[in-house]
């Protein structure tokens, strides 16, 4: 099977510092290579500062890579110019961590969800309205609330709006950057189940970024563990959780509540 997304040696450097000060270089990604297969979920876990969010932005073409290549369904994305890249955008969509900042507080839920259609100039107004309504319904939001602003929704509902919006352009790959981390525990489970349902019914592929290994184990088929800009361990979800190879993975496992793992129990001497 062909991978839907393939990254090869992707590196990203940030420079800071002015003309008179010392220039500091931060290497957010230092050569990342992996593939994601269609209709699967790859979870990328790691401590803060490991480069997960930078990876997400690069894969979503929201940040240019410093070096390396990315393929999406046989097209080399990194070799495209800005205009062609824009043509690919509908296929890769992103859901951000904090819906309070990823949704423009001045727009209604309805406007938010139909904005992608408006930007891409798809359909006429009545059809856009219908599609937006459908999307909101699909993520489980009541129709009556469509005209309300984000601050009138709960955290979980806001994230649903963000998900609905990300689905508007019928993407193939959905990148979820800590999309559940800002939610309360009980709400997390609900939204997680929504994501699972959507994947099944729409045939989506997920790149799921999180620092919570338990969540990754629950949702993902494969897990990649990152530390300081590199992938240090990668494999099928169950094997990574049951037989962690790398120290970072082990630390993450200890921090994850509710994951039963015999490998971590103290060995009888």
Site residues, other proteins (CB under 8 A): 57, 60-62, 86-87, 89-90, 92-94, 96-98, 101-104, 106, 115-116, 119-120, 151-152, 165, 169
Closest approach of other proteins to the CB of residue 267, in Å: 45
| Residue 58 vs 237, nearer CB to other proteins | 58
| Residue 23 vs 106, nearer CB to other proteins | 106
> Beta partners for 13?
27
Closest approach of other proteins to the CB of residue 18, in Å: 10
Closest approach of other proteins to the CB of residue 100, in Å: 9
| Residue 51 vs 116, nearer CB to other proteins | 116
| Residue 2 vs 184, nearer CB to other proteins | 184
| Residue 180 vs 252, nearer CB to other proteins | 180
Closest approach of other proteins to the CB of residue 86, in Å: 5
Closest approach of other proteins to the CB of residue 186, in Å: 20
């Amino acid at each position: 099977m062909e991978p839907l997304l393939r990254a090869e040696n992707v590196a990203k450097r940030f420079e800071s510092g002015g003309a008179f000060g010392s220039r500091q270089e931060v290497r957010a990604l230092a050569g990342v290579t992996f593939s994601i297969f269609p209709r699967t979920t790859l979870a990328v876990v790691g401590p803060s500062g490991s480069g997960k969010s930078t990876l997400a932005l690069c894969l979503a073409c929201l940040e240019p890579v410093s070096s390396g290549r990315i393929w999406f369904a046989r097209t080399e994305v990194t070799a495209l110019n800005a205009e062609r890249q824009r043509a690919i955008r509908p296929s890769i969509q992103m859901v951000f961590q904090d819906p309070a900042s990823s949704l423009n507080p001045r727009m209604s839920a309805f406007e938010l969800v139909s904005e992608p259609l408006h930007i891409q100039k798809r359909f006429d107004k009545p059809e856009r309205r219908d599609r937006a309504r459908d999307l909101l319904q699909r993520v489980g939001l009541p129709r009556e609330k469509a005209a309300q602003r984000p601050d009138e929704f709960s955290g979980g509902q806001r994230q649903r709006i963000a998900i609905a919006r990300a689905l508007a352009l019928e993407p193939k790959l959905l990148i979820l950057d800590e999309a559940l981390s800002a939610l309360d525990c009980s709400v997390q489970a609900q939204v997680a189940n929504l994501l699972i349902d959507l994947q099944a019914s729409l045939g989506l592929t997920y790149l799921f970024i999180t620092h919570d290994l338990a969540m990754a184990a629950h949702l993902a088929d494969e897990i990649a563990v990152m530390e300081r800009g590199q992938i240090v361990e990668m494999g099928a979800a169950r094997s990574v959780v049951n037989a962690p190879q790398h120290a970072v993975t082990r630390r993450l496992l200890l921090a994850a509540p509710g994951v039963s793992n015999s490998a971590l129990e103290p060995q009888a001497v």
